[in-house]
Amino acid sequence: MPVNPVEYYKRGDVAEEVAAFLCGRWAAVEGEGKRWARWLERRPLSICKPGDVVRVLSVFQAIKPRTFYGTIELFKRLETPSDVEEGYDGNVKAATVFIDIDIVDESRVADAWKYVVEAARLISEWLEERGVKRSVYLLWSGAGMHLRIHEGAFDYEHLGAHPIDVAFAVAEYVLESLEPKLWEVVVKSKGMIKIENLVAPKRVFTAPLSLHRRLDSVAVTLKPDALDEFTPDWSRPDSYQHDPSAWRVYERGEATSLAEEALKRIGKVKKRTLMEARASKLGFGYNAGLVQQALRPSEPREPGRFPVMALLQAARYYLLYGDMDKAKSFGLNRAIFYAWAKYYGPARRARIHVASSASESSSSKRYYRRGGGEGEWKIVAGEKVQVGPDGWFMMGGVEQRPEDFDRQVTRKFEEAGINFEEAWRAALEYVKKFPKSVLMDPQRFYKEVYEPVRDRFVERVLKKRDSGSTLDKWLRRS
């Protein structure tokens, strides 16, 4: 019999646990039809007492509340909109590191959960080897697992970094260090799981003992040493097995040394709107050679604007300059730039980084990237871009490498059921139809090349690709 959310949350042990975890976090509740509530009486939604949980159920009964979330940040105060908006930076006192190990198809939990556990074990063992043990806990949501590091394990004053930057760097460092081993688990699962760094400002995650948004499952927490005994049956609403101490127990400062290493290797994200574009995401798609055709959808889907922009920009660079690795770097760099630029309005998109005169050339303004390497501004394809010491294009203080393109762009096409090699050839053929004057003009490229196909890539680029070998001949000549 389906669980009744109202009756479930009125249970004393449930309301107490949800409220205890959410206290200090900007809370959110999700109801039917993906309807959300994050504000109450013009204030950020705050839940600190069991009675608050019951009150939320009543106040927002119109959306039929089902799932409780909280931000990964803990705030000093949650009283006015400015506490989470313009006053955000100074109001955050801590942030929880978390890595998401997700089951792609919720109907396949029974087949995929053991791979989730295997990935969680790999990460927790790696952290323990680096002295981070007591502060690590896991949350099974019903269709995946978060590995989290308690926010009290970091000495932010010693680190001299904002808590959200610490959390991002640590999650990214873990995934970067374990990428080959975690990728083996993803492959072994035949694409049933994906592993992601989802740290970003005001990101919400599930509260312990919250119901899953769709499944009749309860979010339960456990320590890594309980992984051997864990099964999905632990999350049954009528008989859940939950360790309330798992998310409460930690060792103060335990993860500070790890965070120092992470900040040194990963650095800070200068524009936090870039975090999502830069974060590691391990799933079938980024290594196209390992993706089995049987796992792809029978009909390709639209991959999304970000990957389409990155692909077309990479094709643009390749046709102009002929370097595949740098084309990937340029493509990802420009996609990240436009993702950032949308926050500041279309009027600034293309023109703000076009050279105003020949004096703004490769010998113009210099800057320093993290780690002390020196780089410079250059004009490439009519755009003013940053080039790092290693030769890769740069945004937000970080170089965009070819392997970053593979993780963040190639995988998106594969997940949409599109063989990336086919997408690449189709993109080259499409972009090649435009004169060089368009390719060298950022504004015209955006309006004439990208905009017409950004939401219809499959129809207008992939399916219209000529079946002949014109492009192959052109590539051989070049």
Host H or E run for residue 145:
strand 144-149
pTM of the model: 0.66
The reported pLDDT for the residue numbered 399 is 85
**Nearest of 263, 261, 25 to residue 166 by alpha carbon:** 263
Give, for 95, the enclosing helix (H) or strand (E).
Answer: strand 92-95
User: Coil, strand, or helix at residue 251?
Assistant: coil
Q: Look at 104-108, 126-130, 407-411 and tell me which has the smallest mean pLDDT.
A: 407-411
Neighbours of 299 (CB within 10 A): 8
Cβ(405)–Cβ(314) below 8 Å:
yes
| 5-282 CATH pick, 2.40.50.140, 3.30.950.10, 3.40.50.720, 3.90.920.10 | 3.90.920.10
Handedness of CA 71, 16, 238, 231 (dihedral sign): positive
- Tell me the range of 215-224, 259-268, 397-406, 459-468 where mean pLDDT is highest: 215-224
Query: What's the mean pLDDT in 293-306?
Result: 68
Separation of CA 441 from chain center:
31
d(C-alpha 343, C-alpha 201), whole Å: 15
Residue with tokens 């792609």: 104
The ranges assigned to domains in the chain are: 5-282, 296-477
Q: How far apart are CA 286 and CA 342, in angstroms?
A: 26
Residue 204: pLDDT above 90?
Answer: yes
Cβ count within 10 A of residue 469: 10
Cβ-Cβ contacts under 8 Å for 204 (sequence gap 6 or more)? 26, 28, 69, 70, 71, 72
The number of residues in the chain equals: 478
Q: Please say if the pLDDT value at position 287 is more than 60.
A: no
Per-residue pLDDT, averaged over 336-358, amounts to 51
Q: Which residues contact 274 (CB under 8 A, 6 or more apart)?
A: 336, 339, 340, 395, 396
DSSP letter assigned to residue 294: G
> Which secondary structure element, helix H or strand E, spans residue 385, and what is its range?
strand 383-387
Q: What is the rounded average pLDDT of the residues 60-80? A: 97
**Given CA atoms 408, 414, 418, 423 in this order, what sign does their dihedral have?**
positive
> Which of 98-102, 121-125, 182-186, 409-413 has the weakest average pLDDT?
409-413
Give the pLDDT band of residue 363 (cuts 50, 70, 90). Answer: very low
- Percentage, residues of the chain above pLDDT 70: 87
Residue 391 token pair: 């030769």
Q: pLDDT digit string (tens) for 113-147?
A: 999 999 999 999 999 999 999 999 999 999 999 99
pLDDT at 78: 98
Predicted local confidence at residue 296, as pLDDT: 45
Answer whether residue 178 shows pLDDT above 50: yes
pLDDT of residue 342: 67
Residue 260: how many other CB atoms lie within 10 Å:
18
Is residue 294 very low, low, confident or very high in pLDDT (cuts 50, 70, 90)? very low
At 271, the amino acid letter reads K
